[in-house]
Chain A
């Protein structure tokens, strides 16, 4: 099963490798990781998309992440009300003849063409992973030269602050 996990970590050198090391050491399959600053400069947000066998494995992963000294908070937000987005750049073979056809094709996705060259164009799309993937599939017949995806970043909806203490969650797993 696919889980989206967000975490807050101290913005220190070595934290990223500590965490990616943990994933590989414990045999977790990471689909994507995104990292960036939060509203607090000394804290970064990391968003992981992982494939796990079952909920037990997901819970174990969260506990292992929590155990890292530099990890402030971890949450599996897959089943919570949340917004999750990724951005993809897709370089597609395109001649002047089929350019407007492609434009029409990508429009419902609210994607845009951000670069044009002699025989190719670059399409930018943001959205949920399945939307991004659907667009990629539609564009594939034209010949895709390159894809760059950021991976998913996400947070929960509304203004309810994530509780600072993580222990309640841990004591009653």
Chain B
């Protein structure tokens, strides 16, 4: 009986007999995958054998962590799922950080891990790791393949789950014998998972409630996060804000949703956000959060968060609504669909002119500031120079730390999908590999990787990939010879006891660039930095720029830990 069914299936034009490894390749082609990031090993040898002449671009990063961060960068810029293939055991454990990062920042990934043969699973076989168990809390979903005939369906489901609803990483663990086993490849069946039907269309009743609330509000504010970027809803966001005259502030990951110079845009909110944005959150009477999840770095002490506001929350993930902040108007749905519905309602705007004037006043009184000093390279000035020389339209990737915050504060993004940073997990070492993926996703874009000297040294091996693929990425190491953000906290909160945060001993960056076959630059003062930047940006190829910045420079303003957003310090120079 079973074989008869199989024969019938085989007769369909779309179904063919092949082994599991080949099925994987065929499935990737069906999904239109342009590039995969990976690293071979024993358990994926059958897959790599099929990849050998599959005609799919494969990027061999020099560490699996680099591979998965590159896939994240690719996903962030292209909006398509990033695909990563690694071997069992150590290959799989090396992608755990990237999976967690993608889970936190809602990036669509499909990650294939090799596994030891089905027959020896559970016997502590060579290079066996319980990858499903290890990654369960850090994946949106995962599969271990038990039968080669299920592989096509599983892959199709994985792509569907990764890219729909709230995007996230999906892992497929493939035992080696499954890769070798023959089965029927049929990719024609539509995905239908009855237990997974994300809501994208917002509830009309809630939309109406929100329209009402806006028209009654004198001090509304929109907090727009990465959900706006993922949903490609930036145009709708701008239209809606203009229609209703509502000021907009961004989360770290939302940057670029509103043009940086728009008159209704009042900057980034949160721990190192600007004073105006935080005061807007503190004083508002209606808070409309769109695709943002009230991370503690945005809210500060929840007791003082938007204390007088009615809260509306638009999110594709119902579990985010009401999780951290009690919400009066919950709107489950896609940010673009919700904004479109709001625009179409064309409700009566509230009287917000006084409120806007108040915020503009804050903006004039308390802009982001720093002391200029051309004798050195002020980190803030450096980012401004990058903005000027790339007209605010480069793809910026970062590691995590002070340099990341300066980049967020001073780059002034004009467009969405230009900002690649690790927000939720705060993963050092993210910047360089994610730049590789970003550049591959947008080959014409200028990609600037703004890195810390600490973070850079966590994944610097990927410089090889830049040279090998001639990716013209401009790598800037903002070298404060310290784990700057740690140093800053130790200076402020631990009586300047710089416990293991100063790293004066570093590789010679010029020689390092040379060793990797990349052009090296160095800058020690503002003028040098400006010239080097110009030269580097005009240079057709990868460059490594070592910019020495003062070690004692701090990121301000700041909401001290445990404080409310209105209690920022370092607001005035």
* B136-152 interface bits toward A, Cβ cutoff 8 Å, 1 = contact, 0 = none: 11001110100000000
Bound-state Cα–Cα, A70 to B326, Å: 28
Is B375 positioned at the interface, with any CB of A under 8 Å from its CB?
no
Contact B136–A170 (Cβ < 8 Å): no
For the complex, give the distance between the alpha carbons of A131 and B169 in Å.
46
Instruction: Tell whether, in the assembled complex, residue B140 and residue A171 are in contact, meaning their CB atoms are under 8 Å apart.
Output: no
Residues of chain A at the chain B interface (Cβ within 8 Å):
9-10, 13-14, 17-18, 21-22, 25, 56, 59-60, 63-64, 66-67, 69-72, 164-165, 167, 170-173
For the A-B complex with A22-B137, A56-B326, A69-B195 known, give 10 more contacts whose Cβ atoms are closer than 8 Å: A17-B133, A56-B322, A59-B322, A60-B322, A67-B319, A167-B197, A170-B199, A172-B330, A173-B318, A173-B321
Complex CA distance for A59 and B330, rounded to whole angstroms: 14
- Point out the residues of chain B lying under 8 angstroms from A21, CB to CB: 136-137
Question: Which residues does chain A contribute within 8 Å of B161, judged by CB atoms?
Answer: 69
Bound: A167/B332 CA distance, A:
9
Q: How far is the CB of B476 from chain A (nearest CB, A)?
A: 37
Tell me how far the C-beta of B205 lies from the nearest C-beta in chain A, rounded to whole angstroms: 8
B residues within 8 A CB of A60? 319, 322-323
**Once the chains are docked, how many angstroms separate the CA of A64 from the CA of B275?**
34
Which residues of the partner chain A approach B319 to less than 8 Å between Cβ atoms? 60, 63-64, 66-67
Is B193 interfacial (CB 8 A cutoff)? yes
Could you say which residues of chain B place their CB within 8 Å of the CB of A22? Answer: 137
Cβ of A63 and Cβ of B194 under 8 Å apart?
no
A67, B317: Cβ atoms closer than 8 Å: yes
Q: Which residues of B contact A171 (CB under 8 A)?
A: 199, 203, 206, 318, 330-332
Q: With A14-B144, A60-B319 known to touch, is A170 a contact of B193 (CB < 8 Å)?
A: no
In the docked arrangement, what's the CA distance between A2 and B140, Å? 29
Question: Does B117 have its Cβ within 8 Å of any Cβ on chain A?
Answer: no
Q: How far is the CA of A166 from the CA of B206 in the complex (A)?
A: 17
A70 cross-chain contacts in B, Cβ below 8 A: 195
Q: Of B141, B194, B195, B322, which contacts A173 at CB under 8 A? A: B322
The answer to whether B330 touches A173 (Cβ under 8 A) is yes
**A10 shortest CB reach to chain B, Å:** 6
User: For B196, what are the chain A residues with a Cβ–Cβ distance below 8 Å?
Assistant: 69
Q: Nearest chain-B residue to A63 (Cβ)?
A: B319
Q: Does B132 contact A (CB under 8 A)?
A: yes
Query: CB distance A63 to B318 under 8 Å?
Result: yes
Q: Which residue of A lies closest to B132 (CB)?
A: A14
Question: Which A residues are CB-close (under 8 A) to B199?
Answer: 167, 170-171
**Contact (Cβ within 8 A) A69 B203:** no
Q: Which residues of A contact B317 (CB under 8 A)?
A: 67
Bound form: Cα–Cα A172–B313 in Å: 12
Closest to B205 in A: A172
Residue from A17, A64, A164, A173 whose CB has the most chain B CB atoms within 10 Å: A173
Q: Which residues of B sit under 8 angstroms from A25, Cβ to Cβ?
A: 137
Pick the most buried of A18, A22, A66: most chain B CB atoms within 10 A of its CB: A18
A43 to chain B, nearest CB (A): 9
A61's closest neighbor in chain B, by CB? B319
